[in-house]
Chains A and B, each alone.
Chain A
């Protein structure tokens, strides 16, 4: 039971990150490899604001705003020039951006991990903690669900949301219908990066240390989650993220704990081989 709740809360972090991947993939048709490192930037933003002895609320706002801006800047500088180029080129540039952010963080903050500060902690709830459930896990789970619901509503009910759906369906047709595709892509990157900032925040609640490589592993795992769920599909990312989180926690609790990484990634390979488009992905036929 405790493992399940831990797994669900880790899973909702993965789901938040995976949402960023999947939205960007659905709309810009590219893998944003640097997404995991946006989480890292968000975590450092929280660390720096807290070390200036500002309140955690300010830290959250700073981190979200910074990540949103960062996402937009990355899109503008690195990805926009390559729109229409081969997917391989875009993918390699994305890897380059990811590497760049990690290198930059290493130069500014050093390679070793740094504690976030004591104010970044949630009050304990005795009734729950008695059963071994941490407040952080619960808050992560609840906030994660709220964010996902809000995002789904945003896409279903607002004009921008429908424009995003239209662009992901058929970019050319959307342009003809008067959708500003560039603007929509920028908005997508902004939302995705804001989600990454939230994910970074929850991540710090569980592991209160910021380091340059912090985003790499959750990033790759969440990316795996997005692929498992069917990349481009928003419910798929949520399902995939939560599935992976639960699998990881159960794995860690079992005798197989040292093989967790292998199990996670084998799951990915198996699912992709059985169903190459992921669990909830759309099947698209390739035309000549």
Chain B
């Protein structure tokens, strides 16, 4: 019986991401059909959409592969410039088919960004941790600097994309396309993470040498993750180029990368649902403060992001706060309802539960081996044992 309960739980988890995106899409559609969708709301939906794409793809690198990338805005920059350029070019060839233009330019922008992802993935084979973080940061700055100097892409004035702005006051429909892309991405990444390949990726995160010893092709998976993440970030960039003119290199600065990182950290590294919620939240906050980009409120936003980063990370990782975390964290809160008998187990039985045969995907960074903190860390052996004891 307990097993049944568990499977239904997991199933809900499987679909919660789609439900969230679907709800946003539905909200937009209902407004659109009733004629109440304002252009600004549609733009907000689009911003939320590409924020989700950016955050989830970065989460794949940071949360699942365990490498810090500070150049995610760089991939977005590549996508925005290349995709935007293509779209402007295509628009002259076939002015009426804007959906097809969007799709083609998104593919091209995404693929070019993926090529850059491959290039930036190469150093990741030799470097890791801090060194890799700085290489990705350097990459972001190089990309910006190079695009700034290309006259073909508008130089310092930015790439003019006025002709391909998708939304009009009459029919703000870009958000539909964006959310379809988001759904495809969630489908791809969620299934990737849950597959054999996803387990290989998390194994590399948890211990690269052990993963190598188990026969996992570390080279392949690292490059793979970087390419996928870059592809989707490039797509987000193309979407951005369809909403804003001019596409300006200064938008894709280091601060943008940090903003994406804030979404990932706030939502929980290695937690896709968290990334979605956090990026929707942050896109909303950005949208509200859009008109005060240089005012005091904008700096306040920066301060709040900083505090979120520091507090969330210290709360989630400080060794001294371990007991506090186990008592008050969200997963502990839920596990209190799930199985109360965990506390009644005898000592020697509980020790079986410390064997981490199955490591949960969203056990963030540090693997917590305490049975009270997170139920699904337990090995199969442990679960059977516990049930036997209860009966």
Contacts and interface: CB of A to CB of B under 8 A. Distances in A.
A109 to B, nearest CB: 10
Given A102-B302, A273-B123, A89 B310 contact: no
B130 A276 contact: no
Interface in B276-309: 294, 296, 298-303, 305-309
A87 interface: yes
A106 B296 CA distance: 8
Given A99-B309, A262-B142, A92 B130 contact: no
Contacts of A183: none
A117 B254 CA distance: 30
A107 B138 contact: no
Interface stretch (A44-52, A128-136, A219-227): A219-227
Contacts of B134: 31, 223-224, 227, 268
B126 A85 contact: no
Interface in A250-288: 258-262, 265-266, 268-269, 272-273, 276, 286, 288
A178 interface: no
Nearest to B156: A258
Given A223-B134, A259-B146, A104 B303 contact: yes
Interface residues of A, number: 47
A206 interface: no
Contacts of B302: 99, 102-103, 106
Interface string A73-109: 0000010011111111101110111111011101100
Nearest to B120: A269
B145 A91 contact: no
A31 B365 CA distance: 18
A227 B366 contact: no
B176 to A, nearest CB: 35
B195 interface: no
B66 A258 contact: no
Nearest to B255: A99
B130 A91 contact: yes
B31 interface: no
Interface residues of B, number: 55
B148 interface: yes
Given A82-B317, A259-B149, A103 B299 contact: yes
B215 interface: no
A111 interface: yes
B319 A262 contact: no
A86 B366 contact: yes
B364 to A, nearest CB: 9
A86 B365 contact: yes
A84 to B, nearest CB: 5
Contacts of B326: none
A211 to B, nearest CB: 13
Contact of B299 (A81, A91, A92, A107): A107
Contacts of A276: 126-127, 131
Given A91-B133, A100-B303, A276-B131, A85 B309 contact: no
A269 B120 CA distance: 10
A46 to B, nearest CB: 21
B258 interface: yes
A34 B294 CA distance: 23
B130 A31 contact: yes
B52 interface: no
A231 interface: yes
A87 B130 contact: yes
Contacts of B62: 88
A82 B62 CA distance: 18
A237 interface: no
B310 A93 contact: yes
Contacts of B131: 227, 231, 272, 276
Interface string B350-391: 000000000000000110000000000000000000000000
B192 interface: no
Contact of A262 (B133, B137, B145, B309): B145
A92 B254 contact: no
A85 B317 contact: yes
A59 to B, nearest CB: 25
Interface string B129-144: 1110111011101101
A106 B313 contact: no
- Name the 4 nearest CB pairs between A and B, nearest first: A96-B309, A103-B302, A100-B306, A106-B299
15 contacts: A31-B133, A31-B134, A81-B321, A93-B309, A96-B305, A96-B313, A99-B309, A104-B303, A223-B134, A258-B145, A261-B141, A261-B145, A272-B127, A273-B123, A286-B209
Interface of B: 62, 66, 68, 70, 122-123, 126-127, 129-131, 133-135, 137-139, 141-142, 144-146, 148-149, 209-210, 254, 258, 261, 265, 269, 294, 296, 298-303, 305-310, 313-314, 316-321, 365-366
Interface of A: 25, 31, 78, 81-89, 91-93, 95-100, 102-104, 106-107, 111, 216, 220, 223-224, 227, 231, 258-262, 265-266, 268-269, 272-273, 276, 286, 288
